Amino acid sequence: MDLSYGDEAEAFRVELRSFLEEHRAKAPQGGSGLGGRPDQRTMDWQRLLIEGGYAARNVPREYGGFGAPPDPLTRIVIDEEFARAGVSRGISGQGPDMLVPTLLEHGSEAQRQAYIGQTIQGEMVWCQGYSEPEAGSDLASVRTNAVLEGDDFVVTGHKIWTTSAHFSDMMFCLVRTEPEKARHAGLSYLLLPMNSPGISVHPLMTMTGKAEFNQVFFDSVRVPRQNLVGERGDGWKIANATLVHERNMLGSASQIDALFQALLRLARTETRDGRPLIEDPLLRDRLMRLQGEVLAARWHASRLLSTKLRGEPAGVAGLVVKLTGCELAHQIASTALEFLGELGTLYEHSPHERAGGFWAFQQMFSLGLIIGGGTAQIQKNIISERGLGLPRETRGDT
């Protein structure tokens, strides 16, 4: 079996390595995060990455991307080299990673032209308005309604757990437009400007101590009809397309690899009794077990990409990504906290904290990601029912 990547991919690696060496001082520290809008430094870095073909690589040129055809080996090399260098991948999140691919699949030409370029550049920030107090795991229970009046939809209702809504420009939103139809058939997918009159945003604190998500109230908010993605009643199908991208983003092998590389750096630099942690055989054993799982995630991602390029269905292999990836990220962060011992429990504002409390933050944040985008229990239901063909669970409405 030949596991080498071939001459072309290795030449690309050399080019990327020299790019990273030359430009790494320009990269933002700590990625774009959820703390706020991308700053100028992050946007400049993103522009450089897109020009070089290291971000938005497969987004067509007419929408501001690099325009390369999808290629699993190039993708792997990019993942490996950014993780190895410990350098920011630029701007990620709900806009670039979830909405942009959804618009490429389901959006109108006018919507692609209006939104994709600004989104991948970080100029337009998006939030996801799906969950409601009575509609989380059971998303088809969405009640926020949108009534067509002339050329506008008039939206009234309440979303919750809306990450980044307090600094977003736009929301992609699941609303009920056909109340008379069956639950799943009555939904539509709207693109909603967050500065529209009638929207109020109330931040909610997560366990990280930061206000990352929000409640959003809509009081007769007018949204132009052309902001509907697909047709009226297509909302369930399109929202699920976005969810597939969300689950792949949350369980992303490259992010997990980058987190694991950070753990390795920690094990090399932190000391116990004067020796680097990585020299402790028990801790090395823990690292090797995790490394095995990280490598499995990486090769699994490559296999999925190859399957996609061949036009074959991913099947159950595609359904496990979110569950396994988010749990692995949480294990890596928890391992880092154990390695740090008492220091690991220090969070913000302690003079002894490590890396600005990065690992304590990651440990709490990654726990939230096991819930967001569909909980671990719901992922197991999906894997068993849709992937393995086991009998469907009994639901209240069936």
Ligand X SMILES: Cc1cc2nc3c(=O)[nH]c(=O)nc-3n(C[C@H](O)[C@H](O)[C@H](O)COP(=O)(O)OP(=O)(O)OC[C@H]3O[C@@H](n4cnc5c(N)ncnc54)[C@H](O)[C@@H]3O)c2cc1C
Residue located via tokens 């260098």: 85
Burial class (CB in 10 A: 0-12, 13-18, 19+), 179: exposed
> Which residue's Cβ has the minimum distance to ligand X?
136
| 394 Cβ contact partners less than 8 Å away, ≥ 6 residues apart | none
Stretch that binds ligand X, among 104-112, 258-266, 278-286, 366-374 (CB under 6 A): 366-374
Nearer to ligand X, 137 or 200 (CB): 137
Q: How far apart are CA 203 and CA 125, in angstroms?
A: 17
The candidate with the shortest Cα–Cα distance to 64, out of 97, 113, 108, 99, is: 113
Q: How far apart are CA 87 and CA 21, in angstroms?
A: 10
Nearer to ligand X, 187 or 267 (CB): 187
Q: Which of 212, 246, 270, 327 is catalytic?
A: 246
Give residues 310-339 in contact with ligand X (rule: CB under 6 A): none
Tokens encoding 306? 């190859």
Select from 201, 371, 385, 386 the one that contacts ligand X (CB under 6 A).
Answer: 371
Q: Using the rule CB under 6 A, is 372 a contact of ligand X? A: yes
The candidate with the shortest Cα–Cα distance to 113, out of 96, 126, 100, is: 100
Q: How far apart are CA 157 and CA 148, in angstroms?
A: 15
Size of the site for ligand X (CB under 6 A): 21
| Structural contact between residues 329 and 297, judged by C-beta atoms closer than 8 angstroms | no
Using DSSP's 3-state secondary structure scheme, residue 103 falls into helix
First to last CA, the chain: 50
Longest Cα–Cα distance of the chain, Å, equals 73
| Structural contact between residues 146 and 135, judged by C-beta atoms closer than 8 angstroms | no
Q: How far apart are CA 191 and CA 208, in angstroms?
A: 29
Tokens encoding 329? 């990220």
Tokens encoding 340? 């740090």
Stretch that binds ligand X, among 13-21, 251-259, 351-359, 371-379 (CB under 6 A): 371-379
| Structural contact between residues 19 and 52, judged by C-beta atoms closer than 8 angstroms | yes
Tokens encoding 55? 């971000």
User: What minimum distance in Å lies between the beta carbon of 115 and ligand X?
Assistant: 18
User: What minimum distance in Å lies between the beta carbon of 183 and ligand X?
Assistant: 15
Stretch that binds ligand X, among 216-224, 273-281, 317-325, 373-381 (CB under 6 A): 373-381
| Structural contact between residues 116 and 104, judged by C-beta atoms closer than 8 angstroms | yes
| Contact string (CB under 6 A) for ligand X, positions 112-141, x = contact | ---------------xxxxx----xx----
Select from 58, 152, 378, 387 the one that contacts ligand X (CB under 6 A).
Answer: 378
Which residues partner with 202 through β-bridges? 215
| Contact string (CB under 6 A) for ligand X, positions 12-51, x = contact | ----------------------------------------
Select from 161, 172, 236, 359 the one that contacts ligand X (CB under 6 A).
Answer: 161
CA distances to 69, 80, 103, 110, 240 from 106, in Å:
19, 31, 5, 12, 12
Select from 67, 193, 368, 387 the one that contacts ligand X (CB under 6 A).
Answer: 368
Nearer to ligand X, 108 or 375 (CB): 375
Stretch that binds ligand X, among 42-50, 160-168, 252-260, 303-311 (CB under 6 A): 160-168
User: What minimum distance in Å lies between the beta carbon of 162 and ligand X?
Assistant: 5
Known catalytic residue: 51? Answer: no
Stretch that binds ligand X, among 47-55, 268-276, 285-293, 365-373 (CB under 6 A): 365-373
Nearer to ligand X, 238 or 266 (CB): 238
Select from 102, 119, 144, 162 the one that contacts ligand X (CB under 6 A).
Answer: 162
User: What minimum distance in Å lies between the beta carbon of 329 and ligand X?
Assistant: 13
Select from 196, 307, 345, 381 the one that contacts ligand X (CB under 6 A).
Answer: 381
Nearer to ligand X, 212 or 257 (CB): 212
Give residues 200-239 in contact with ligand X (rule: CB under 6 A): 213
Q: How far apart are CA 78 and CA 72, in angstroms?
A: 10
User: What minimum distance in Å lies between the beta carbon of 374 and ligand X?
Assistant: 5
Residues labelled catalytic: 246
Binding site for ligand X (CB under 6 A): 127-131, 136-137, 161-163, 213, 368, 371-375, 377-378, 381, 393
